[in-house]
């Protein structure tokens, strides 16, 4: 049985969708940022809304503060809007940021991209696609490398995280 949200929640969600649409019209994408709780080992994450409408997967990143996540997601989104397809496994570099990024396919996007699915009116089992932007640590190691220095829960592997 699916519970229907109360009228106040429906009104709030309508306002959120309107804000998302306005942001996409003005900037090309909107970013959904979900705060984590480091004491509880809950990583923050952020993802784009707007690229799916262009036929490209949305972008997801874990473990970054809102400002850094926004800069990263906006940079890669700009590349997509400029005509570039971001391909899983490629290596992306950034001017002014000392990390490299490798996009990875997320096998369970319906457990994460709730706002994007609501905006595009897609059920979670037919979710928008997500590419996780996995970044290296200060020494240039990625999470799959033996010498990776960051805690695994900060930047979980694709499929190992659910926002439920």
Which carries the bigger pLDDT value, residue 102 or residue 38?
102
Please, what is the average pLDDT of the chain?
93
* 71/160 Cα distance (integer angstroms): 25
Establish if 1 belongs to a structural domain: no
Average of per-residue pLDDT across 132-159: 92
Establish if 157 belongs to a structural domain: no
Query: How many other C-beta atoms can be found within 10 angstroms of the C-beta atom of residue 22?
Result: 11
Parent domain of 23: 7-135
Pairing of strands 101-105, 58-62: unpaired
The pTM assigned to this predicted structure is 0.91
* 77/39 Cα distance (integer angstroms): 31
Residue 2 has pLDDT above 90, yes or no: no
Query: How many other C-beta atoms can be found within 10 angstroms of the C-beta atom of residue 126?
Result: 10
* 136/142 Cα distance (integer angstroms): 4
How far apart are the two ends of the chain, measured CA to CA in Å? 17
Tally the domains of the chain: 1
Three-class DSSP category at 137: coil
- For residue 23, which phi and psi values (nearest 5 degrees)? -65, -40
Establish if 130 belongs to a structural domain: yes
Q: What is the pLDDT of residue 1?
A: 47
* 161/145 Cα distance (integer angstroms): 19
Establish if 152 belongs to a structural domain: no
- The 10s digit of each residue's pLDDT in 97-127 is 999 999 999 999 999 999 999 999 999 899 9
Query: How many other C-beta atoms can be found within 10 angstroms of the C-beta atom of residue 89?
Result: 8
- The 10s digit of each residue's pLDDT in 80-102 is 999 999 999 999 999 999 999 99
Establish if 73 belongs to a structural domain: yes
Average of per-residue pLDDT across 50-74: 97
Establish if 142 belongs to a structural domain: no
Establish if 141 belongs to a structural domain: no
């Amino acid at each position: 049985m699916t519970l229907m949200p109360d009228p106040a929640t429906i009104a709030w969600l309508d306002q959120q969708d309107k804000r998302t649409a306005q942001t996409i019209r003005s900037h090309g994408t909107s970013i959904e940022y979900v705060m984590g709780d480091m004491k509880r080992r809950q990583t923050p994450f952020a993802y784009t809304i707007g690229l799916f409408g262009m036929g490209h997967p949305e972008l997801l990143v874990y473990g970054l503060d809102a400002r850094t996540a926004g800069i990263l997601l906006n940079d890669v989104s700009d590349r997509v809007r400029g005509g570039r397809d971001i391909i899983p496994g490629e290596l992306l570099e950034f001017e002014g940021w000392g990390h490299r990024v490798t996009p990875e396919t997320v096998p369970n996007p319906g457990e994460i991209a709730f706002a994007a699915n609501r905006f595009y009116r897609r059920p979670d089992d037919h979710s928008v696609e997500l590419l996780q932007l996995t970044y290296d640590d200060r020494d240039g190691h990625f999470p799959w490398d033996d010498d990776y220095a960051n805690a695994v829960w900060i930047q979980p592997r694709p499929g190992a995280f659910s926002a439920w």
